[in-house]
Amino acid sequence: MAPVTDESIKKEVNRGAWTAEEDQKLAEVIEIQGAKRWKKIAAKAGLNRCSKSCRLRWMNYLRPNIKRGNISDEEEELILRLHKLLGNRWSLIAGRLPGRTDNEIKNYWNSHLGKKIKQKEKKNGNSTKEGSKTKKTGVIEEDNAEVKQRDTANGGEDSEVCFDVDEFFDFSNESPLTLEWISKFLVQDESLCKLS
DNA sequence: AACAACCTCAACCGCATCAGA
DNA sequence: GTCTGATGCGGTTGAGGTTGT
């Protein structure tokens, strides 16, 4: 008997939008055996969905405490700042926004913030990615070097939305308290990664 | 009212990383 | 140390909805 892999399932699995019935079945199975062993979950739920699809549905939609829509100004501001710090590490950013998923933040960035930024860039004729990023301190400096690289690869979409981006993103002007918070934030994430 | 163009977001895909055998 | 399966992540796609002409 051939092993049942995602590849072999591919030909016959359900795809596309989930129905309410599928959601319910999936939630029931996860309630019983927890959100791990997704292949087992997929099989038990009898949904004809691959493990990845089940996991994604749970993570982005069915999980308890998920907030949907209406990203607040504060959240938007946080996303912008975290993106500046971390680049496209959506899951890390999402980890700092309770109830938000990486997929939602990624979509929000691509459809709202990215566009806003581009518009502003055009308006101002140039972006602010040069200059303001030069002097950073400690952890932030190191991390930004990496982010900077990634941002360049992204086409350097960083600029401003409806505020002065130089001021907003220039951490060299940041108060010691904020810098401390950012450093803590980065260190925390590093140690979390090591632990998990 | 009809159609096209655009936008949003759920879902998929491929790759990287991790953990256990 | 190596292999293999499971999981997680970011990029991309496409269906459905909305807006403009």
What pLDDT is attached to residue A118? Answer: 66
Flag whether A68 is in a domain: no
Q: Which nucleotide has the least CA–C1' distance to A110? A: B8
pLDDT in tens, A51-65: 999 999 999 999 888
Find and give the residue nearest to B8, measured CA to C1'. Answer: A111
- Those nucleotides of strand B lying less than 7 Å from any protein Cβ are 7-14, 18-19
For A102 and C10, how far is CA from C1' in angstroms?
9
Give me the CATH number covering residue A12. 1.10.10.60
C-alpha to C-alpha distance for A189 and A186, rounded to whole angstroms? 5
**pLDDT (mean) for A6-23:** 70
Within this chain, do residues A116 and A38 fall inside the same structural domain, yes or no? no
Within this chain, do residues A43 and A92 fall inside the same structural domain, yes or no? no
Flag whether A132 is in a domain: yes
pLDDT in tens, A69-128: 788 888 998 999 899 888 889 999 998 888 899 999 999 998 888 777 766 666 665 443
Flag whether A1 is in a domain: no
Q: Is strand C less than 7 A from the beta carbon of A151?
A: no
For A171 and B13, how far is CA from C1' in angstroms?
37
If one compares A116 and A184, the residue with the highest pLDDT of the two is A116
Q: Which nucleotide has the least CA–C1' distance to A54? A: B11
Q: Is strand C less than 7 A from the beta carbon of A36?
A: yes
Contact (CB, 8 A) for A171 and A140: yes
C-alpha to C-alpha distance for A40 and A30, rounded to whole angstroms? 10
If one compares A88 and A157, the residue with the highest pLDDT of the two is A88
* Total structural domains within chain A: 2
Q: What is the radius of gyration, based on Cα positions, of chain A?
A: 20
Within this chain, do residues A91 and A41 fall inside the same structural domain, yes or no? no
If one compares A133 and A103, the residue with the highest pLDDT of the two is A103
Within this chain, do residues A38 and A94 fall inside the same structural domain, yes or no? no
What pLDDT is attached to residue A9? Answer: 40
In this structure, is the dihedral angle defined by the CA atoms of residues A25, A31, A35 and A39, taken in order, positive or negative? negative
What 3-state class would DSSP assign to A49? Answer: coil
Domain end position, chosen among A19, A42, A62: A62
Q: Is strand C less than 7 A from the beta carbon of A154?
A: yes
A20-33 vs A38-45: helix crossing angle, rounded to 10: 130
- Quote the domain boundaries for residue A31: 6-62
Within this chain, do residues A185 and A107 fall inside the same structural domain, yes or no? yes
**pLDDT (mean) for A179-196:** 51
- Those nucleotides of strand C lying less than 7 Å from any protein Cβ are 5-12, 15-16
Q: Which of A95-99, A143-147, A185-189 has the lowest mean pLDDT?
A: A143-147
**Which protein residues have any CB–strand B distance under 7 A?**
A 10, 14-18, 49-50, 52-53, 56-57, 60-61, 68-69, 103-104, 106-108, 110-112, 115, 193, 196
Q: What is the pTM of this model?
A: 0.67
Within this chain, do residues A53 and A103 fall inside the same structural domain, yes or no? no
C-alpha to C-alpha distance for A10 and A143, rounded to whole angstroms? 39
Q: In which band, very low, low, confident or very high, does the pLDDT at A193 lie, cut at 50, 70 and 90? A: very low
Within this chain, do residues A88 and A165 fall inside the same structural domain, yes or no? yes
